[in-house]
Amino acid sequence: GAVVSQHPSWVICKSGTSVKIECRSLDFQATTMFWYRQFPKQSLMLMATSNEGSKATYEQGVEKDKFLINHASLTLSTLTVTSAHPEDSSFYICSARGGSESQPQHFGDGTRLSIL
């Protein structure tokens, strides 16, 4: 159980393109979803936390107009990187948590984003 699906797994696109990444909880209802970014050989960096039906809470330094997050249902959250530039190239990972705060986060497989 506790499967999280993330698509696409790999994106290569031109600078200025907007890219949408989907995160779905397949077998549980995710009351909270998280979006992380990870640069090579570095730790996970939390970008934002979203609860179903409400606006995402962004971490300090993360541009909310650049990284649009939608959590429209208990099983789906999307991250849209708008007008992506080469510095946005990174490994983006979503996670989902159901139930109480003591439940672990379950991660999607991640999306490797390369902006040319």
Partner 1 sequence: GQNIDQPTEMTATEGAIVQINCTYQTSGFNGLFWYQQHAGEAPTFLSYNVLDGLEEKGRFSSFLSRSKGYSYLLLKELQMKDSASYLCAVKDSNYQLIWGAGTKLIIKP
Chain residues binding partner 1 by CB under 8 A are 2, 6, 42-44, 46, 91, 93, 95, 101-102, 104-110, 112
b/e code 2-21 from CB counts within 10 Å (16+ = b)? bebbbeeeebeeeeeeebeb
CB of 39 to partner 1, least distance (A): 12
Q: For partner 1, give the closer residue by CB, 7 or 83.
A: 7
Nearer to partner 1 among residue 8 and residue 16 (C-beta)? 8
The gap from C-alpha 35 to its chain's centroid, in whole angstroms, comes to: 3
* Smallest distance, partner 1 to C-beta of residue 35, A: 12
Closer of 77 and 95 to partner 1 (Cβ):
95
By beta-carbon proximity to partner 1, the closer residue of 15 and 42 is 42
Whole-number Å distance between alpha carbons of 104 and 82: 30
Residue 42 C-beta: closest distance to partner 1, Å = 8
- Residue 4: phi and psi, rounded to 5, are -120, 130
- First and final CA of the chain: distance in angstroms? 37
Identity at 6, one-letter amino acid code: Q
CB 54 to partner 1: min, Å: 16
